[in-house]
Chains A and B, each alone.
Chain A
Amino acid sequence: MNSIRQDWFSNVRNDLLAGLVVALALIPEAIAFSIIAGVDPKVGLYASFCIATVTAFVGGRPGMISAATGAMALVMVMLVKEHGLQYLLAATVLTGVLQILAGWLRLGALMRFVSRSVVTGFVNALAILIFMAQLPELTGANATWQVYALVAAGLAIIYLFPYLTKVVPSPLVTILVLTGVTLYLGLDVRTVGDMGELPDSLPVFLLPDIPLTFETLQIIFPVSATLAVVGLLESLMTATIVDDLTDSSSNKNRECVGQGVANVATGFLGGMAGCAMIGQSVINVKSGGRGRLSTLTAGVCLLLMVVFAGEWVAQIPMAALVAVMIMVSIGTFNWASIRNLREHPLGANVVMISTVAVVVATHDLAQGVLVGVLLSGFFFAHKVGQVLAVSSITLEQGRTRAYLVTGQVFFASADRFVAAFDFKEVIERVRIDVSRAHFWDITAVSALDKVVIKFRREGAEVEVIGLDAASATLIDKFGVHDKPDATARLTDH
C-alpha cells in the first residue's frame, strides 16, 4: 500500500507537468521513428501511447519513459520492407514474450558483463543513428533552402527559448512557430501528413493477420530475438541512468517483464515494438518527473493530442521534427567521452569505438554490444594474464632448482607460464611451488602437465608443491566471497 502511494502519488503536480512536457517531445520522436521503420506514423504513435501507459503500471523503474524508439525501429526495417506491417505486429508480440521470459529467468543480471565503455559506445551509437535517420530530410530532392532555414530556426528556438522562460517546453514552441510560419508563408515543404496515416481513433484490439505456420516463425523469430535483446539493453541502461539521477533503486527483472508485457500489448493494438528512451527519461527527470504518474501522463496526453488534434499534427513541417530529433541526438550523445579518449586506457577506447563502429555499420545495437562485450572480455583476459611471475633458485649445491609461481594461470597466460621454465638446464631435481598461484581452467592444468612431462624427458625428477590449494579455483562454482576467510584464501594460500 505504502509503496503504491509513494510510486504514484507522492509527486503529483510535478509528475503531471513533466509527463506533459515528455508527451510533447514524444510526438515528433514517435513520428520520426515510424518513418525510419517504414510504417505509417500512427503505428509509432499507438506504440508510444501503449508502451508508456503499460510500463507506467508494470515497469520496474518509476519515472522512466518507454515508447517507440529509434534503436528498435532500425532493427525492423528489413522485415517491414519484405513482409509488411502484419509481420511486424506479430514480431512485436513475440518480442514481448521473449522479454517476459528473460525477466522470469532473471537475465537482467547479465548486464554486469556490459562494461562502462560498452554503455558509452551504445549511447553514442544511438545518438549517431538518430542523427543519421534525419539525413533523408536534409539531403536529396526534399532539401531546399527553406528546409535548412526551418531546421536552423528550430534549433535556435529549442536552445535559446529556455533563456527566456523555462515554463513552456521549447520543442513545443519550435513546432508551433515553424508550423505557423510554414502555413502563413505557404512554403512548399514536406509535412507530417505527407508521411502516411495518422491516428483517427483510439487504438483497437486486433490480431496480427498472418498465417500461423512454422515458416512465419522462421521469418519473425530472428528479428524478435534481436528486438528483445536491444530493447532490454537500452531499457536496463536507461533504468541505471534514472537510478543514478534520482539516487534511488529499481527492480531490473520487473523492468524486463514490464517491457515484455508492454510489447505484447502494443503488438495487439497495432503498434511497433519499443523500449525505454534515454533522452526522454532525462527530459522527464529534468522536468521534475519521478513517479509512475509521469509516464502514464506522457502516454495518455500523447494519444489525446494526436487523436483530437490530428489535422493540426498533419500540418507540422518535417523540418520541425528534424530539429527536435537533432536536439535529442545531441542530448543523448556522451560528449565527455570524446575528451576522455585521451585519458582512458587504449583498451577502453577500442571497446567504445568498436561498439560505435559496428552499430553504425550494421544498424543493429545488439551486434555492437556483442562486439563490445567480447572485446572487453578479451582485453580483461589479456590484462589479468600479465599478472604472473615465475622465479627460480638453485638448492642443494646445484642439484635442485626450485621454481616459485605467483599469479594467475589460465588460457591467456598458459603460454607465458610454460615459457618461463628452462627445460634445457641439466639438473637432478625440479621443485615447482605453485602454492601462490591460481589455476583457473583446464588450459592451466594441462600447461602444468606439459611442464612436468618436459622436465621428466630431460631426466629430472619433478615435485609439485601446493597444487591442491592452487587448483581450488578450477571448479565452476568457485566462490569464496561467502566464506569467512575470503580475503585470506584469495591472497595467502
Chain B
Amino acid sequence: MHDEDKILACVDRSHFAETVTDAATWAARRLSAPLELLHILDRHPEIGSGKDHSGAIGFNAQQALLTELAEEDAARSKAAREQGRIFLNQLRERAIAAGAVAPDVRQRHGDLEETLVGQQSSVRLFVLGRRGESAETTQRDLGRNVERVVRALKKPILAVTEQFQEPRRVLIAFDGGGMARRGVELVARSPLFQGLPIHVLMSGKATRDGARQLEWARTTLEKAGLAASAALLPGDAERVIAGAVHEQEFDLLIMGAYSHSPIRTLLFGSKTSDLLRSARIPTLLLR
C-alpha cells in the first residue's frame, strides 16, 4: 500500500456521513486502496455573536473585547476539535466493521474546496455527500458546494445519496464525447467494476455515428471481461436516464462531469447538475 492512491472520504456532520463512509469502504475494498476519512473544520470570522447590544464602551473597551472574542474562539475551536474527533472515530469503527483495512482519520482547518484541491495529488477517488451540513436544513437536492468542488478537482468523484448499498448494476450515461469515451476506458480498466453488469445508455436521436460509438463502448467493456449491454433511447437525457434508473434498478451511475465552462452553465444550466438531481442513486463523476 502506498499513499499515492488513497480513497478520500469527505465527511461532515450531515446525515450523509455514514453513506459516504460505506461507499468509500466499498471502493477501498474493491481497489485495495488505503482509506482516509477527512473532516474539515471551517472557521467563520465573518459571523458575529451579537449578544450584547448595549452599545456602551467602558474602561479598556478594546482590550477587554479582544480578550473576550479570543476566548470565545478558543473555546469553540477546542469543542469543535473534540466533537470532530469523536465523530471521526465512530465512522472509523463503522468502516472497520464493513471490512476496510486500517482506515485513517484526519481533521483539517480550512475551506472545503481549498483543502480538497491541496490533497488531490495523493488521492485516487474522492467520496462526497451530495449535500453538506450547510444544506441540511434546506430543500435543495444538490448542495451549492458540489459544483464548485467538482469543477476544482481533477480526480474521479463518487457523489453519494442518502442510501448506499453495494452496487450490483451499473449504468453509464454515454454521449459519445471525449470525456465519455475516456470514462468507458477507465471503467474497463478499473477493478472497481469487475464482475458487475454494465449498461451503456445513450439518449437522443438515433444517428449512425451514435450507434457506432455505442458499439465501440460495448465492445471495449466486453473485451475487458465485463458483462456489457448497450441501448440508444430517444428523448431528453435527463428523463431517459432517470427512467432507466427507476425501471431497471441500477444502483450506480457513471458520467463525465462539467465539461463545459462555468459561463455556459450560468446561461444554459448544466446537464451534469440536472442529471445529478434527477438520478437519485450514487453517481461517479469523471473529470
Interface set of A (CB-CB < 8 Å, partner B): 6-7, 10-11, 13-15, 17-18, 21-22, 24-25, 62, 158-159, 161-162, 166-172, 241, 244-248, 278-279, 282-283, 285-291, 327-328, 330-332, 334-336
Q: Chain A's nearest CB lies how many Å from the CB of B257? A: 20
Contact call B57/A331, Cβ cutoff below 8 A: yes
Q: Chain B's nearest CB lies how many Å from the CB of A339? A: 10
The contact sample of 23 A-B pairs, CB cut-off 8 A, is A6-B46, A10-B44, A11-B46, A18-B50, A18-B53, A21-B53, A21-B55, A22-B55, A158-B56, A159-B58, A169-B53, A245-B65, A246-B69, A247-B73, A248-B45, A279-B57, A285-B48, A287-B53, A288-B48, A288-B52, A331-B57, A336-B60, A336-B63
Say yes or no: is B51 at the interface (Cβ < 8 Å to chain A): yes
6 closest cross-chain pairs (CB), A and B = A288-B50, A331-B57, A288-B48, A169-B55, A14-B50, A162-B54
The answer for the CA separation of A285 and B70 in the assembled complex, in Å, is: 13
Task: List, in ascending order, chain B residues with CB within 8 A of A290's CB.
Answer: 45-48
Say yes or no: is B59 at the interface (Cβ < 8 Å to chain A): yes
Q: Chain A at the B interface: mostly helix, strand, loop or mixed?
A: helix
Task: List, in ascending order, chain A residues with CB within 8 A of B59's CB.
Answer: 330-331, 335
Q: Chain A's nearest CB lies how many Å from the CB of B44? A: 7
The answer for the CA separation of A58 and B54 in the assembled complex, in Å, is: 28
Contact call A287/B52, Cβ cutoff below 8 A: yes
User: In the complex where A244-B66, A282-B61 touch, is A287 in contact with B56 (Cβ < 8 A)?
Assistant: no
Task: List, in ascending order, chain A residues with CB within 8 A of B70's CB.
Answer: 247
The answer for the CA separation of A282 and B67 in the assembled complex, in Å, is: 13
Contact call A166/B66, Cβ cutoff below 8 A: no
The residue in chain A whose Cβ has the minimal distance to the Cβ of B65 is A286
Q: Restricting to B52-111, which residues have a CB under 8 Å from any CB of A?
A: 52-63, 65-66, 69-70, 73
CB < 8 Å neighbour of A282 from B44, B46, B57: B57
Beyond contacts A162-B56, A286-B61: 18 other A-B pairs, Cβ-Cβ < 8 A, are A11-B47, A11-B48, A14-B49, A158-B56, A162-B54, A168-B53, A169-B55, A169-B56, A245-B62, A247-B45, A286-B52, A287-B52, A287-B55, A288-B53, A290-B48, A331-B58, A331-B61, A332-B57
Task: List, in ascending order, chain A residues with CB within 8 A of B44's CB.
Answer: 10
The answer for the CA separation of A389 and B76 in the assembled complex, in Å, is: 52
Task: List, in ascending order, chain B residues with CB within 8 A of A334's CB.
Answer: 60, 62-63
Task: List, in ascending order, chain A residues with CB within 8 A of B60's CB.
Answer: 334-336
Task: List, in ascending order, chain B residues with CB within 8 A of A15's CB.
Answer: 48
Task: List, in ascending order, chain A residues with CB within 8 A of B45's CB.
Answer: 246-248, 290
The answer for the CA separation of A62 and B45 in the assembled complex, in Å, is: 11
Which of B50, B56, B60, B70 lies at the interface centre, i.e. has the most chain A CB atoms within 10 A of its CB?
B56
Contact call A248/B46, Cβ cutoff below 8 A: yes
Task: List, in ascending order, chain B residues with CB within 8 A of A7's CB.
Answer: 46
User: In the complex where A278-B62, A282-B62, A334-B62 touch, is A167 in contact with B47 (Cβ < 8 A)?
Assistant: no
Q: Chain A's nearest CB lies how many Å from the CB of B235? A: 34
Task: List, in ascending order, chain B residues with CB within 8 A of A331's CB.
Answer: 56-59, 61-62
User: Contact string, B20-35, partner A, CB cutoff 8 A, digits 1/0?
Assistant: 0000000000000000
Interface set of B (CB-CB < 8 Å, partner A): 43-63, 65-66, 69-70, 73
Q: Chain A's nearest CB lies how many Å from the CB of B145? A: 11
Task: List, in ascending order, chain B residues with CB within 8 A of A282's CB.
Answer: 57, 61-62, 65
Task: List, in ascending order, chain B residues with CB within 8 A of A332's CB.
Answer: 57, 61
Contact call B55/A172, Cβ cutoff below 8 A: yes
The residue in chain B whose Cβ has the minimal distance to the Cβ of A160 is B56
The residue in chain B whose Cβ has the minimal distance to the Cβ of A246 is B45
The residue in chain A whose Cβ has the minimal distance to the Cβ of B45 is A248
Contact call A169/B54, Cβ cutoff below 8 A: yes
The answer for the CA separation of A162 and B56 in the assembled complex, in Å, is: 8
Task: List, in ascending order, chain B residues with CB within 8 A of A18's CB.
Answer: 48, 50, 53
Q: Chain A's nearest CB lies how many Å from the CB of B261? A: 15
The answer for the CA separation of A25 and B54 in the assembled complex, in Å, is: 10
Contact call A288/B46, Cβ cutoff below 8 A: no
Task: List, in ascending order, chain A residues with CB within 8 A of B50's CB.
Answer: 13-14, 17-18, 287-289
The residue in chain A whose Cβ has the minimal distance to the Cβ of B111 is A2
The answer for the CA separation of A336 and B45 in the assembled complex, in Å, is: 27
The residue in chain A whose Cβ has the minimal distance to the Cβ of B113 is A2
The residue in chain A whose Cβ has the minimal distance to the Cβ of B44 is A10
Q: Chain A's nearest CB lies how many Å from the CB of B212? A: 42
Task: List, in ascending order, chain B residues with CB within 8 A of A244's CB.
Answer: 66
Q: Chain B's nearest CB lies how many Å from the CB of A180? A: 19
The answer for the CA separation of A158 and B49 in the assembled complex, in Å, is: 22
User: In the complex where A245-B69, A282-B65, A285-B65 touch, is A170 in contact with B55 (Cβ < 8 A)?
Assistant: yes
Task: List, in ascending order, chain A residues with CB within 8 A of B47's CB.
Answer: 10-11, 14, 290
Task: List, in ascending order, chain B residues with CB within 8 A of A291's CB.
Answer: 46
The residue in chain B whose Cβ has the minimal distance to the Cβ of A11 is B47
The residue in chain A whose Cβ has the minimal distance to the Cβ of B48 is A288
The residue in chain B whose Cβ has the minimal distance to the Cβ of A14 is B50
Task: List, in ascending order, chain A residues with CB within 8 A of B52's CB.
Answer: 162, 166, 286-288
Task: List, in ascending order, chain B residues with CB within 8 A of A62's CB.
Answer: 46
The answer for the CA separation of A330 and B56 in the assembled complex, in Å, is: 10
The answer for the CA separation of A347 and B65 in the assembled complex, in Å, is: 28
Q: Chain A's nearest CB lies how many Å from the CB of B281? A: 30
